[in-house]
Chains A and B, each alone.
Chain A
Amino acid sequence: MSRYYIITIGGTGARCLESLVHLSASGVFDKNVSVLHIDADKDNGNWGRAFTALNHYKKIKHLIGTNNTDFFRHNIGEGAIEERRDDIWFYPLPENEEGGYYTSLNNFSGNSELTEILFTSGIRADKWDIGFKGRSSLGSIATAQAFEWNKRPWDKLRSDITTSLSNSKEVRVFFIGSIFGGTGSSIFPTIGKLFDNQFGANSNFFLGGSILLPYFTYTVPNGEQDNYAKPADFLVKTRQHMDYYKSLPFKKIYMLGETERKGVSASIGAKDQENPPHHLEMLAILAANNFFELNRDNIINIPPTDKFSFLGRKTRGKVIWEDLPELPGKQVNETKLLTFTTMSCSFIGFWYKLLRDDKYFKRSEWYIKHIGKDPDIDKNMEVLKEYLEDYFLTWLLGLHVQCGERDKKEYKDWILEADIYKVIETCLFSTEILKDFLKDVSGAGLNKLKWRPSDGKGGYVPKEEDAYDFLWKSACDTELLERISGYGSLSRVFHILCETSKKFMDINYSS
């Protein structure tokens, strides 16, 4: 059995990590995978969000246990219920003798003549503790100095990989980062080379990666040019980086970019930097999936000329289901994602309130049968609801919206304006509202999620009140699962939700 690792880098990498969580939750990404994140920006908002989503995932998986659905099926990270941040995060700055960190090249190298000839005084003085602000060369120095196989988190990773390799297991490591900024572009090749130096000689070790080319932009606030990587430089940097990346020891590099770059709010990093999700981040995870699925013989025989890949699409400026790469022989991305979305909406819009607040329902046979007197049901449902509402559906909506120039607050406001609660309460049962909700707001796709029109031959004619009936009926028809030792009633409720959503999908969305 192969071991898979995904190492995400920088703010873009963090958002890819969040995508990994959601794609795993929905079953689109279907492998056990270990993850590690690298960022010089300790408090980066994207990383914080991804980390929280990841821990939600792990908690939910722990609550629902092994299940027969596609959802929350595989492990992300190791077995612990909750990841410790430091175990999956590497801070790529060199430590100083006082136990702190060098905060600039000057700080690190002192009055080195070598750095003086290679870097301007401004670059040498640039603070690098909230990212390298486009200075990839600085990032390479800091990373090369900070990286040590004997230190956390690399020691454990090296031990795991070494063990796997010694047991003749394949190990595939996949790096993800943007290469038009500073952090990803510098760490990607630097640590990639260090991995290759360490394991590259083993025939079971394969290195791959996905590089994200410019896909967003922002406006640098007046007077703060020195504090930001300059969007105008992104493409120039990309050319330079790509030229350098040609010689990297990766078996496969998946390139992802966009012609039209979305505007985001300018941020110098830290918590303030929480960008909306983007479909390229989802595609980066699907690229990893592709790399992990490659036949061993094929991957060994990839000629250097075939190292770089790009993804075809139907139409420039649009994203549709056909554009999402499927695994060979599988056409499941759409179904899985739609089903999981349906389940999410039905849980938040219908079940959650019913199970938590309807005192009459709690006396029903169904409730007693499936939940009984589980004292943790409300608390556990809260975890699920929080993940689905705050992370998955928000992410999904974000993909649709790609909210342009909105800043974080505006983004939230927009969601509130959309009244997600109200929408979810009603949309599942209203063709028009559902279509409004899931329509391609930005013109970027995923618009196939629609109510299936009645064909008069057993198809369900949707009516708001009848939809409840359907769900209820469907839930009642669901065969009661045996209680699983060690798992609470949420596990059974989740299975019922999945079954009813699947039936709902079968009736309404199957093509």
Chain B
Amino acid sequence: MASFLPELEGTSPIVTGATRPGVWYNIHDITNDFIDRIVTPTSEINDTSSFIPNMWARIILFKKAQAMQENPLNRELRGLTAALVLRKLYNINVEFVPYDFANSPINNVAKTLYEGNIDSLYFIKINSITVAGFMKSGDYTGFFTSACYALSSKLIPWYNENTGIFDDPYRAETFGIYDSALIKGALRSWRDRMNIQDPIFNNWQHEPSIICTFPSDRIPSLDDQHPLSIYTSAVDIPVKNIFIERGEYFADDDYVVLPINSKGYEDIDTYLKTLNGTTGTNRPAFKIKPGGTVRVEIDKENHLVFEKKYSKMEQIELPAVCIWPNFKADDWGDYYVWGCKYEKFTNRLENNDINIEPMYEKGITLGGPIKSDYSRTWHCNKQPLCVKVTINDNEVGVIPVNVADGNGIDVNLQYEISIDFGTTHTVVARKIAGDDTSISHLNIHDRVIWMTSKTHNLSLTERVATDIFEFMERDFMPSRGQLDKSDSRLASFPTLYKRKTNQQGHAPILDGVAVLAKKEMPPYSLTGSASITDRIADAIEKMSHKVFVEKLKWGHPNDNTENNTNFELTAYIHHLMKLIKAEMRYDGCTKFKIRWAYPIAMNQIRQDTLSNIFGDTPGDKRCISESEAIAYFFDASINSAEPNLIIDIGGGTTDITLYSKDKIDDGKQKAKPGLECSLRFAGNICKEYLIKHKDIITDNLNYFSGDLVKSKEFIEALLVAMPENTLSVLLSLHSGKFSGYVDSNVPIPKLEELRKLIEFAYGAIFYYSGLMLSAAGINPARAEIFCAGNGWGHVDWVFGSNNKYLSNDDNNVFKSVFTTAYKKIPLTINNKPDKRKFEVAKGLLLADSVFNKNNTNNQKAPARPVAGLNAGAGVSSRIPLAKDFVIGEDGFKAKNVAIPFVTRIGDGNNLIDDFMPAVFKQYDKFVLSLTDNDAAINHNNTAILSSDAIKSHVQSLLRKNVKDGKLLINEPLFITIVRVAINKIWKLAL
């Protein structure tokens, strides 16, 4: 009925039964029935706080905003929080100043008007400007921003000088894309790491709005390439038998695709069988009679979908539903059904009227669903019969499941699987037991079957948005059900060039055939509404694999005291094993052995973690270090019995290892480390340089179409986000253009500079290697370079060789540097294998054969205890000296190590000349003035310091590290100095 009230939203009565005029009626739920229904103008009001009839209006509003996710104040609050979280990054001086409620009229009024007692109030000052407060009271405890604060966007880029308030940096477009993307990544990380549950920070996560490449709102016409609309047929079955009409949801002229119900499916199936000899496109098409016009769409596998044109409709779209794996077998007990409402990810599944549920035979174990915001995942030990679709709790039909039978089991088939975990990707190889010639990549295929339209083509990003643990394009990630924790994600990032070329590339699980190879890169598509910044941020998040592996390998050791690393590693390996086992089972193989490698820099705790996780895996197991695996590979491929020096310059680390064959007590022989050193100094320097000088590769980036690549910020963010391996591929792919610079003999100055940088940086590695050998007093018969690692990929294109090995000139640079430090033998650099990373995995599989070949008793190499690396044969067989040289994780614990190297300090040799070989003299102009305490740089002494001065300075530094006649090493000081030099070069080059 009518009332004396302002206009309210909706037509429902304010109070049921209030029908008489002139009568006062009580409103029982004043908030829902009245306040929330007041129709307000859409214009935004800036200073609503003054509207609340209380001096503490601002607090009241912030308190109220706590319960609302999308409130302008929350946006501002997120901006404030970002300032606090990123204070160090942005050099923001933050102070918390307690407020004294001294006796004064305004303070008395303030206390009178506040609801309850105030425990404390702090003012938050940024650079002495009060920007916010922190209230602690019975009524409200939390932050609130100041009504007015004038900052500079130069100080805090997400401070909006126009509005005078913080923006949510996750939304703000007021600063550069590069900054924005980095900030977003940092804030996501902060939210995850701090386990922030406050819903106002829900925005700081993978953002659904990034999903920009969805199909248009309307489902594609059935005449389009809808996979379920290939064939058209019609059935003379009443409409009501096949699905439930939902006309009230529809608008005029909309098309609807609805699943059929179970009865309808049976009816149609029966009917279709009566269509003698009419298959495929030859099937007759006709319409059901008026009153129920339905066209049945049948795909090649007899999936049924109906199109109906309603007179009054709106569109309803099926959820995207898929199942993994794509075969069924009685002995296979791992099935996953994944469903997602693809229409708009902003419409979370739980808020939508559409729901799905897999239907199983009775007695089947059904796990789940595991719910994420946008999807559901079920786990079952048998494949489901169908997936039921409900709309507003009413069943509207089922989506049939059609999975082919898998191969039969070959009881004689046994695989040996090897896994190499790299910083940028992981390689899986396999061989048929006993057959070294059968070694190959283990191809992990896309074993996902789409049960509804794939035309909508949920691309990588969109699926990642559901939850990477649940689903990736080819990689079904089922581990989350077993590890109910949501703070870590695994993701992958396909090499960008695949977008254009559809070529093979790298991915987290590099299986020889690129994972994700066939997919576009939605974040870089120009369609859709997501901002460039969001897309870039999204891309950066895709780098989380790299982050993950880096965390695994290099994260702070304290992480090991928590379960985080274990969790992530466990999840990752469980996922990987699911994929591997599915591939094996598809081949009919159920027996296998696992060999895996760990980076030599990985500390003992992490090695144990890895071993324990694999300890859960059935079958014969073995783990050795990557370097040892390489040694086995070398031994097998080169057939050398001599010690090898292996320098593996990877994407993020350089491993320097000397292996020799040695006899052990029982007369068996095996590869054995003589010296190991791992440096976190590798191909990453090249990438960082390119971030500063992106114009070098602009032409290569032009390979990607679209306006994005014209954005300097985009390229910058892209490079930041890109793994080193991807960079290698990217830069080599378009060799015509890039090589043009090289071949023309007029290289651009910055490219020349980059070459010098690589000579310097990599030369330093070689120099350091020589220095180590010299100091250790070890005399390898041959110094061999294992040209693996993404670091080498950069050398390829920087020097224009692009032919998988260094040119002689470049070789000579490195050789001469090596020889300068280690004067005994020249360095030999061999051609690199084609699939460098693969060779580690291959070496793992060859270990037994190599060992047996060298073992007179023809015994197998002893399998190392899975969890026994601490005191097992692997450690005890190392040369003690080598252990001291390992500068891996433990090396950063500032353990002082005495090495015989010290004798060179005081023996009168010209150490500095050794230290700064002639090849580096061109960098004299880059003056280093190192402080005594650290490697800080003084930029201002270019005119004073000559190369001799630099050398002198470095020498003095080295001497300061001498104690009691021994050199103390916390980390390779030499590398520190090289870093400083590079840093200096870059800065001057900017």
Contact = CB atoms under 8 A, between A and B. Distances in A.
Interface of A: 94, 108-110, 112-121, 123, 134-141, 144-145, 185-190, 213-214, 232-233, 235-244, 246-247, 254-259, 280, 283, 287, 290, 305-316, 320, 322-326
Contacts of B115: 247
A236 B133 CA distance: 25
- Mostly, the A contact residues are helix
Contacts of B61: 240
27 contacts: A109-B106, A117-B133, A118-B56, A119-B148, A135-B51, A136-B50, A137-B54, A140-B113, A236-B40, A236-B45, A238-B38, A239-B38, A240-B51, A242-B30, A246-B35, A255-B27, A258-B6, A305-B29, A309-B24, A309-B26, A310-B18, A310-B25, A310-B27, A311-B25, A313-B1, A325-B22, A325-B23
B17 to A, nearest CB: 10
B735 interface: no
B31 A259 contact: no
B112 interface: yes
B50 A135 contact: yes
Given A140-B113, A145-B105, A310-B4, A322 B21 contact: yes
Interface string B140-159: 00000011100000000000
Contacts of A257: 4-6
A309 B7 contact: no
Given A247-B115, A310-B18, A311-B4, 7 more contacts: A110-B106, A112-B104, A115-B106, A123-B50, A141-B106, A283-B4, A310-B14
Contact of A307 (B18, B30, B55): B30
B48 A242 contact: no
A112 B100 CA distance: 11
Given A137-B57, A235-B38, A120 B147 contact: yes
A190 B26 contact: no
B54 A140 contact: yes
In this complex, the member of B48, B55, B58 whose beta carbon has the largest number of chain A beta carbons within 10 angstroms is B55
B63 to A, nearest CB: 11
A280 B5 CA distance: 10
Contacts, number: 217
Contact of B123 (A113, A140, A310): A113
Interface residues of B, number: 63
Nearest to A110: B106
A94 B106 CA distance: 11
Nearest to A316: B2
Contacts of A314: 2, 21
B57 A118 contact: yes
A310 B109 contact: no
A123 B45 CA distance: 14
A108 B53 contact: no
B105 A108 contact: yes
Contact of A306 (B19, B28, B56, B132): B28
Contact of B48 (A240, A311, A313, A323): A240
B3 interface: yes
Q: Which 7 A-B pairs have the closest CB atoms?
A: A136-B53, A306-B26, A109-B106, A186-B53, A316-B2, A314-B21, A137-B57
Contacts of B49: 118-119, 137
Q: Which of A118, A134, A213 has the most CB of B within 10 A?
A: A118
Nearest to A235: B40
Given A115-B106, A117-B130, A313-B4, A290 B24 contact: yes
Contacts of B21: 312-314, 320, 322-323
A50 B248 CA distance: 56
A114 B58 CA distance: 12
Contact of B34 (A138, A187, A242, A326): A242
A178 B2 CA distance: 21
A242 B55 CA distance: 16
A115 B3 CA distance: 40
Contacts of B106: 108-110, 112, 114-115, 141
Query: Residue among A141, A311, A312, A325 with the most chain B CB within 10 A?
Result: A312
A153 to B, nearest CB: 20
Interface in B611-632: none
A36 B40 CA distance: 33
Contact of B130 (A113, A123, A283): A113
B914 to A, nearest CB: 63
Contact of A185 (B18, B53, B55): B53
A309 B27 contact: yes
A94 B60 CA distance: 24
B667 interface: no
B39 interface: yes
B36 to A, nearest CB: 8
Contact of A141 (B20, B23, B41, B109): B109
B53 A246 contact: no
B24 A287 contact: yes
Contact of B50 (A109, A116, A138, A310): A138
Contacts of B29: 305
B875 interface: no
B508 to A, nearest CB: 49
A311 B24 contact: yes
B115 to A, nearest CB: 8
B271 interface: no
A316 B2 CA distance: 5
B809 interface: no
A255 B20 CA distance: 16
A290 B7 CA distance: 24
Given A137-B53, A214-B6, A312 B27 contact: no
A283 B3 CA distance: 12
Interface string B40-83: 11010101111111111110110010000000000000000000
Nearest to B49: A137
A107 B61 CA distance: 25
Given A232-B43, A233-B51, A241-B52, A258 B4 contact: yes
B24 A137 contact: no
B105 A312 contact: no
Contacts of B41: 232, 235-236
Interface string B278-312: 00000000000000000000000000000000000
Contacts of B18: 310, 312
B413 interface: no
* B18, B24, B35, B113: most-surrounded residue (chain A CB, <10 A): B24
A235 B39 CA distance: 7
A127 to B, nearest CB: 14
Contacts of B96: none
Nearest to A256: B4
B127 interface: no
B110 interface: yes
A280 B51 contact: no
B45 A242 contact: no
B30 A113 contact: no
A241 B48 CA distance: 11
Given A112-B104, A235-B40, A242-B30, A139 B6 contact: no
A117 B22 contact: no
A94 B57 CA distance: 20
B4 A137 contact: no
A238 B53 CA distance: 11
A312 B123 contact: no
Task: Select the residue from B40, B104, B132 with max chain A CB neighbours within 10 A.
Answer: B40
B5 A310 contact: yes
A325 B20 CA distance: 10
B22 to A, nearest CB: 5
Contacts of B123: 113, 117
Question: Which has the most chain B C-beta neighbours within 10 Å: A108, A110, A136, A287?
Answer: A136
Nearest to B101: A114
A312 B3 contact: yes
A243 B24 contact: no
A235 B6 contact: yes
Contacts of A137: 49-55, 57
A242 B52 CA distance: 9
A313 B2 contact: yes
